[in-house]
Structures are given as C-alpha cells and as structure tokens.
Amino acid sequence: MLKKEPEVKYKMLKRIIILLSVLTTALAVSGCGDEVSDTASTAESSNMDSSEYTYIAVSNKYPGIIENAESWSVNNDSDRTVKEVFVNVGDDVKAGDELFSYDTEKAESDLEQARIDLEKMSSELANMNKTLTTLNTAYSKATKTEDKQSYELQIQDQQLEIKQKEYDIKSKQLTISKLEATLNDSVVVSQIDGVVSSINNSASGSSSGDDSFITVMKEGSIRVRGTVNEMYVSSLNEGDSVNIYSRIDNELTWTGRISSIDTENPVKNDSGGYSEDTTSNYYFYVDVDETEGLMIGQHVYIEDTSETSESVYGSVDLDELYQDELYGEVSEEEEGAG
C-alpha cells in the first residue's frame, strides 16, 4: 500500500532535487574533461561533504602524494654510544659504505675483563674436578659405613658445585661472544644504494615512535600514495591502470598501476588519532611507469582508468533507489490507516 499523497510528493521532490544535483555534477565532470578545479581540490580533502564525495565517485579521482617506494634504516643502539657519523643528509651512498661508528672503548675493556674471568673460572673448574677425583678415591677405599656416607655427601656437593661452575663458564663465554660481535659491528654500513634522507640524533626515545637513526632512500624508487574513502575503496583493484595529474598543471600527466590497497590500517589524522567522521579513509599505492618530472612530496590527483573501476553513480540502480525512497515498505500502522 502506498504512503499518503503529501508524503509521496515531498519524497519525490526531495529525490528530484538530489538527482538534479548529481546529474549537474556528472555533466560538469564530463564537460571539463581532465581539468582539475579548486572545487575538485577541496573535494579531495579529508573533510568532504556528501556532494564532494559524489564528485570524486563520479570522476574516479583521488588525492595522492609522491613518496619513496623503498628505503632502509638503522636504529641507534641505546646501550652504545655513537662515536662518529661519516655521512650527511643528501649524500649518495653505495651498499657497504660506512655510515657511522660506535665508541668501542668500554666494550674493549669489558672484553678484556671477561677473558680474565673466564681463565680464572676454568682454573677453578679444573681444581674442583681434581677434588672430586680425590673424594671418589677416598670413598672407594673407605671401610666404615659412616665414612662412606660422609664421602658420598661431599661428592654430591662437589658435583653440584662443578655443574654451577660449568654453567657460569658457558654464560661468560656467551658474554665474550657478544662483546666480540659488538666490536666487529662497531662500524655500521649501508645495505642499499641510495641517498641519505635523514639523520635523527634524537631518535632514541623519540615521542614519534620512530627509532631510525639514519635512513637511506633508494634512488629512483618513486611511488604514489593515494587516499580513498571506505565508501569507494571497493571500486579500486590491484592492477588497475591509472592516470596521475599534477595539481599545479593538469597538462602534466603520468601513468601507472595500483600495486596495493591497505584496508587494514585506517588513516590517522594530524593529531595522531582517527578522523571524527563516521567513515574511514585508507591508503592505496601506485607504481609509476615513468617518474620524470615527479618530486618527493609533490601532491597529485589519481584517476582510475581501468575498465574494472566503477563509479558510485554508475553502480546505483536509480529506479530501485527511487522506488525504495518513494514507496518503501509500509508499516502495519500505515496500512491500517489507509
């Protein structure tokens, strides 16, 4: 049974207004081609309203930023002291090039003392084994029960002391091995070819949670990190072809493919928390075919051009949408009223 006529007219008028708004936006997008206006820029910010989301959904455009695709970093060992740094930010390095060294004075002193301790403990163990041999001999020669019981207790105590000393020796040997490794690793080298992008002298205990002391970015390794709202993430697929547009000059374009979509980790806002919006945003990543003209930190637009991509506007069944909104399911109360 249909709803009352005034309500139907009101709902119809509401849907017509919304439809006209959507169609106007769609026509504006198709008429403008690939031009990116200030409105589009606003639409792709994190604080979009419903009409702006409609724009992005129809045009399949998403905001993005250029970043390095591959990097290698090394942490500063808080138990050691950095003696010297051999590189500066911006330096080109090769795999195996020295980056910095640790002070080895304390490790060398500790190693020397540990070797002395080990030598002393080994000597003590040898004497303890001799004592055990003497006790065993005395036990075998004893004739009285009381003497045998006494020797037996002494032998048990000696065996326990020997086991403890053997354990102490193994622990000391492990300490020596670690100290030797520390000395051998006192100079840290780069594991990749690239450019030194950062040296964080205050990395240890950093409030940002990043303990990287030195970071090396692989040269020429560039990708685009895009942001998509959860309402539209299903329209993206790994392997989709995309066009990349400069925000400054829309005549500058690049091509690439979506390499991954991270739907496991919602994007945090600048304060470190999650957005107050009811929906979440996620990162997706694009491998660029040609990187000439792109710079790290550059802001761009990403347009999904794959045939498998589907805009929200194109996927909506308008007839079903109108029918649900205008007529819907009539409650028993409304049915009785009719």
Two domains, one topology: 5-69+221-337 and 71-103+187-217: no
Residue 88: predicted pLDDT: 94
Residue 37: predicted pLDDT: 40
Residue 17: predicted pLDDT: 52
Tokens of 302: 């990403």
d(CA 218, CA 194): 4
d(CA 223, CA 188): 28
The full set of domain ranges for the chain reads 5-69+221-337, 71-103+187-217, 108-183
For 141-173, the pLDDT digits (tens) are 998 999 999 999 999 999 999 999 999 999 999
Residue 59: predicted pLDDT: 55
Residue 293: predicted pLDDT: 86
Tell me, what DSSP letter sits at residue 330?
P
Residue 253: predicted pLDDT: 92
Q: Worst-scoring range by mean pLDDT, 94-108, 125-139, 205-219? A: 205-219
Answer whether residue 336 shows pLDDT above 60.
no
Q: Among residues of the chain, what percentage have pLDDT more than 90?
A: 44
d(CA 231, CA 236): 11
Answer whether residue 337 shows pLDDT above 70.
no
Q: Which CATH superfamily is domain 5-69+221-337 in?
A: Efflux pump adaptor protein, beta barrel domain (2.40.30.170)
In the beta sheet, which residues pair with residue 268?
274
Average pLDDT of the chain is: 76
Tokens of 180: 């030797």
Backbone angles phi, psi at 32, to 5 degrees: -90, -5
Fold of 71-103+187-217: OB fold (Dihydrolipoamide Acetyltransferase, E2P) (2.40.50)
Burial of 294 (0-12, 13-18, 19+ CB in 10 A): middle
For 61-73, the pLDDT digits (tens) are 899 999 877 888 8
Residue 209: predicted pLDDT: 44
Q: How far apart are the first and last CA of the chain?
A: 8
Between 265 and 58, residue with greater pLDDT: 265
For 299-318, the pLDDT digits (tens) are 999 998 876 555 444 433 33
Q: How far is CA 58 from CA 43, 54, 55, 290, 317, in A?
A: 12, 6, 5, 27, 14
For 172-222, the pLDDT digits (tens) are 999 999 999 999 999 999 998 888 888 987 644 443 445 689 989 887 678
Residue 267: predicted pLDDT: 84
Residue 269: predicted pLDDT: 58
Location of structure tokens 């945090």: 268
Residue 77: predicted pLDDT: 87
For 15-29, the pLDDT digits (tens) are 455 555 545 555 544
Residue 78: predicted pLDDT: 84
d(CA 182, CA 199): 22
Residue 275: predicted pLDDT: 46
Q: What would the mean pLDDT of 269-290 be, rounded to a whole number?
A: 72
Indicate the pLDDT class of residue 271, thresholds 50, 70 and 90. very low
Q: Which amino acid is at 239?
A: G
Location of structure tokens 């002298």: 201
